[in-house]
A and B are shown apart, each in its own frame.
Chain A
């Protein structure tokens, strides 16, 4: 009997949690698309999510391209078609690795910080204080992060893509001796505008996922534990959930749309 009751309780918890998350997104969208928009907060969040992530994204992008080039050369060399190294690196980075890895890096760097920040505001009653002043915490905290995510992620992904392709160039051309013209010149033959757009759409949706999940988890800190423990739990959950959602959503987006 207890077992069945537990099962029922956790199912209700789970479903209401999902409903809560959906409502959170709808609320964010409603406040987001009605004025006023807090532009300074938005700029601050873009600086935090975007500008301050550039170095990390560039580093990860360069090494991703370099290792892809190295591995790709090894494989392509076996079938004697090293000429396809450029298209292989470019296509896999632009369509798949760029959006996903940039998304995961932003989750780890910015998503966790946003959850922790909003979570601490929650447990120290700062969010209640904002409400008491008659201000809307959504407009001040959530909406700027939401739009900053949507704006920053696609841009970071493009930076990642380009640096990745040139990282691959560095290894493929300078180290392994593929012709410079072969590497760069073959890319336009196999890369379409649709591939670039696919990466762009993916990264925009990942931006939504990251800002949505990390704000939601921060905003409802305290439901899974109180005080410092609650914040640490919320941060962990936010990183795990965003990363898992990015990878799962990535599969469905690739399968359904393209």
Chain B
């Protein structure tokens, strides 16, 4: 009985610690345990302006995936997105890099298109637009070139 109590005490402690770790990593740090039901598409941008690996991909403000990798190809940025399989993208969908608030982090927003054709896994989102350069915009405003 004595030994049983000891094991119980240790077990409860270890379990509590692991539950906390799991909550922190999965819920708060968005660790992906199940990677099966996802597919990848890519998009070419002339400028990604601070988008990072792991940034979120949203449609209508709802998160549907994440940026998997960013590489450079022919002096342009190739962004690979990992999306959940229940998201279907039309051929003429538009990928835009946006900013959360004025000083917030960058994310990628997809505007659905109206085409019948859909983008297959490994395909490319052809329509892209780089992030709005606020500095550029402000200087234009100040120096009156708008």
Residues of A within 8 A of B (CB): 40, 43-44, 46-47, 50-51, 54, 83, 90, 94, 151-152, 154-156, 158-159, 161-162, 165, 187-193, 195-196, 200
Contacts and interface: CB of A to CB of B under 8 A. Distances in A.
A189 B100 contact: yes
Interface stretch (B26-34, B42-50, B111-119, B127-135): B26-34
A158 B9 contact: no
Contact of B6 (A47, A152, A156, A165): A47
B105 A189 contact: yes
Given A43-B7, A192-B54, A155 B25 contact: no
Interface of B: 3, 6-7, 9-10, 12-14, 16-18, 20-21, 23-25, 27-31, 54, 56, 100-101, 105
A193 B9 contact: no
B16 A155 contact: yes
B55 to A, nearest CB: 9
A109 B20 CA distance: 22
5 contacts: A43-B7, A51-B10, A162-B20, A192-B54, A196-B28
B1 to A, nearest CB: 14
Nearest to A154: B17
Contacts of A44: 6
B10 A47 contact: yes
Contact of B20 (A51, A159, A190): A159
B105 A155 contact: no
A90 B28 contact: yes
Contacts of A50: 10, 13-14, 17
A147 to B, nearest CB: 12
Top 8 nearest A-B pairs (CB, nearest first) are A155-B17, A158-B20, A51-B13, A158-B21, A162-B20, A50-B13, A51-B9, A193-B29
B54 A54 contact: no
A11 B130 CA distance: 63
Contacts of A191: 28-30
Nearest to A49: B13
Contacts of B20: 155, 158-159, 161-162
Contacts of A43: 6-7, 10
Contacts of A94: 24
A196 B10 contact: no
Given A43-B7, A189-B105, A196 B13 contact: no
B10 A46 contact: yes
Nearest to B3: A40
A40 B3 CA distance: 8
Contact of B29 (A46, A83, A155, A195): A195
A44 B8 CA distance: 11
Contacts of A47: 6, 9-10, 13
Contact of B17 (A158, A187, A195): A158
Candidate in B7, B9, B28 with the most chain A CB atoms within 10 angstroms: B28
Given A54-B16, A193-B29, A196-B21, 8 more contacts: A51-B10, A51-B12, A94-B24, A155-B13, A158-B24, A191-B29, A196-B25, A200-B21
Contact of B18 (A83, A155, A165, A190): A155
Given A46-B10, A196-B29, A161 B17 contact: no
Contacts of B10: 43, 46-47, 50-51
Contacts of B17: 50, 154-156, 158-159
A158 to B, nearest CB: 4
Contacts of A51: 9-10, 12-13
